[in-house]
Structure 1
Amino acid sequence: MPPRWIRALRHAPEVPRALQRFENYGELLRAYVRPGSAAFPLELRMRSGWRLTVRDGHDAATAWVIFCRQEYDVPLRARCIVDIGANFGAFSLYAAGRAPWARIVSLEPHPDEYPRLRDHVAANGLADRITPMQLAVAAEAGHRWMDADPAHPGPSRGIHPPTEGEQPAESVPVRAVTLMEALDRARAVTGADRIALVKMDIEGAEHEILPDLHPDTLYDVDAWAMEYHPNGPKAPLFAALERAGLRLVRDVEAHPNSGVAHFRRM
């Protein structure tokens, strides 16, 4: 592993971006670097006038990597963006700022996080551009269970594997749709012929959805960005996207089979 100072240099551009985007960038930096020293909940005040409330260090880290590290590439001329696993709405707001002509459909199933997503959209006057939907995406549509263990951070809660047994401990029921249905809904809401970007962060459920995905599902998707998780190998995920005509352009691997990958239709 590279020395700590080299790793720190890699992230040096993030601090100026924080200063550029947030009025209270110092509070965000402290909440990200030393969350125990920060007072939560913390309202992040963007220079655009938008507001985003983070309730713990995990939320602060999410806001930092999206707005300051720019973990996801957003096409500036995008007209339709789909945010799968929107959580409290950090990426949806970031995408709305980066792509001013885009309409965004944001899917978040968890009953703790969905109201925060909806409230952030409404409070920032973005209801005409961002459409929240309380839905999970899974291999098959229907009823599923989602992690609700209070010991687990909100951004890390995923859906449980399919089961016909009893409700898993520390879980809540959620409604799931297939990826095809999610994209169909996005096209219907936005009226777009093509989807400029799908961002996916669903805490490991990508291993349920992508390996056997029919290539035609993504026929009108021009770019795909996803956080992939180590509950399965990344190779089948990447292969499914390649079969759909999307080519890997950047893979930032944090650990084996864990990272953020960017694909684009060539």
Structure 2
Amino acid sequence: MASLSDFWRYGVVKTARKLKAAALSPVMAARGDAAVRSAYGVLMVPNWQDTTFRYCIFGTYGRDLADLLLGQRNDFVFVDIGSNQGLYALIAAQNPKCRQIIAFEPVPATHARLAANVALNGGAERTVLHQLAISDSVGEVEISVAADHTGTATLAGREAGKPSGGGVVIQTIDAPLVDPLLAGELPMFVKIDVEGLEAVVIAELAKTGAFARVEAIFYEVDDRWASAGEIEVLLRASGFTRFTKYGRGHHYDVLASRS
């Protein structure tokens, strides 16, 4: 029964949402440059040429992470690593128990849209934005960016610092520089969507003193270039005991929690 339910939610329904986004986006784009309210209830500046934006508007990503963020009942900090245009940062800000949002988005143009969306939704006073990527080194690197799908921007597949495709220069930081950016006392809920570098990011977070405050991590896995088992071993060594899978096939999400 669970597999049938997953097939319906992550197969049929998600495909239908993608088709809806493709069909209706040209119609909505023709309406002009006014802010658009997404299926998740947050406003976003229009960016119709971008698949990621269209998926945000039409709810293609489903409700899994959105409901987890809105369902938090105790004060927390949301750390959004790979924030893109800020969908989940904006959703987290809808929950009054979310006392702070810390968002990392290194691509300059995408970061500018993130900042505009935060301002549009009135969450700037609780949101700290960093135009940085978390990695295992400090410096400038090129990141592959697809003009029509910003959500696929990736450092994965680099050889000798070179990206697998055309890209832009971004700034990376490692654990010693990340730690002070996460300073505080409240528990943290972390989302990681970095297109194949999830294990690297988690390993760096685990080296920080702030990591003890992380109660849950929602991260993306694609079995074509990431090892779910490797990530789980790393997190279990850091005290995470529960792993819940969301999705099906080779591309899915996992929620890791300490209890």
Verify same fold: TM over 0.5: yes
Q: Verify: 1:174 aligned to 2:142, yes or no.
A: no
- Runs (5+) with no aligned partner, structure 1: 15-28
Give distance in 2, aligned partners of 1:9 and 1:87: 22
Q: Secondary structure at the match of 1:58?
A: helix
The within-5 A match list for 1:213-228 is 214=206, 218-228=211-221
Q: Secondary structure at the match of 1:35?
A: helix
Q: Verify: 1:248 aligned to 2:235, yes or no.
A: no
Q: Verify: 1:154 aligned to 2:155, yes or no.
A: no
Q: Verify: 1:77 aligned to 2:74, yes or no.
A: yes
Tell whether the 8 Å contact from 2:64 to 2:246 is kept in structure 1 after alignment. no
- CA distance 1:5–1:243, shift in 2 (3 Å): closer
Partner of 1:20: none
- CA distance 1:180–1:223, shift in 2 (3 Å): farther
Q: Secondary structure at the match of 1:148?
A: strand
The TM-score, its normalising length taken from structure 2, stands at 0.78
- CA distance 1:6–1:223, shift in 2 (3 Å): closer
How far 1:5 moved relative to its partner? Answer: 11
- Note the alpha carbon deviations across 1:65-101, whole angstroms, 9 max, x for none: 55x5233522232331110000001010011113444
Tell whether the 8 Å contact from 1:32 to 1:60 is kept in structure 2 after alignment. no
Give distance in 1, aligned partners of 2:191 and 2:6: 31
- Note the alpha carbon deviations across 1:152-206, whole angstroms, 9 max, x for none: 511111125555466765111100112553343032xxxx214320111011111
The within-5 A match list for 1:21-36 is 33-36=20-23
- CA distance 1:178–1:254, shift in 2 (3 Å): farther
Give distance in 2, aligned partners of 1:118 and 1:30: 26
Partner of 2:140: 143
How far 1:236 moved relative to its partner? Answer: 0.4
Residue type of the alignment partner of 2:155: I
Calculate the aligned-residue CA RMSD, in Å: 3.5
Tell whether the 8 Å contact from 2:78 to 2:188 is kept in structure 1 after alignment. yes
How far 1:234 moved relative to its partner? Answer: 0.9
Q: Secondary structure at the match of 2:8?
A: helix
How far 1:61 moved relative to its partner? Answer: 1.7
Residue type of the alignment partner of 1:221: V
- CA distance 1:247–1:4, shift in 2 (3 Å): closer
The TM-score, its normalising length taken from structure 1, stands at 0.76
Give the total of aligned pairs. 244
Give distance in 2, aligned partners of 1:212 and 1:100: 27
Residue type of the alignment partner of 1:237: I
Q: Verify: 1:203 aligned to 2:195, yes or no.
A: yes
Q: Secondary structure at the match of 2:253?
A: strand
Fraction of identical pairs, as percent: 19
- Note the alpha carbon deviations across 1:232-255, whole angstroms, 9 max, x for none: 221001111111111224112422
- CA distance 1:109–1:140, shift in 2 (3 Å): same
- CA distance 1:247–1:46, shift in 2 (3 Å): same
Give distance in 2, aligned partners of 1:170 and 1:214: 31
Q: Secondary structure at the match of 2:85?
A: coil
Residue type of the alignment partner of 2:136: A
Q: Verify: 1:185 aligned to 2:177, yes or no.
A: no
> Going by fraction, where is helix more abundant, 1 or 2?
2
Residue type of the alignment partner of 2:23: G
- CA distance 1:52–1:32, shift in 2 (3 Å): farther
The within-5 A match list for 1:31-180 is 33-39=20-26, 40=29, 43-45=35-37, 50-53=42-45, 54-55=47-48, 56-63=50-57, 64-65=59-60, 68-72=62-66, 73-74=68-69, 75-150=72-147, 153-161=149-157, 163-164=159-160, 169-179=165-175
Give distance in 2, aligned partners of 1:165 and 1:216: 25
- Runs (5+) with no aligned partner, structure 2: none
Q: Secondary structure at the match of 1:128?
A: helix
Tell whether the 8 Å contact from 1:32 to 1:61 is kept in structure 2 after alignment. no
Give distance in 2, aligned partners of 1:5 and 1:206: 24
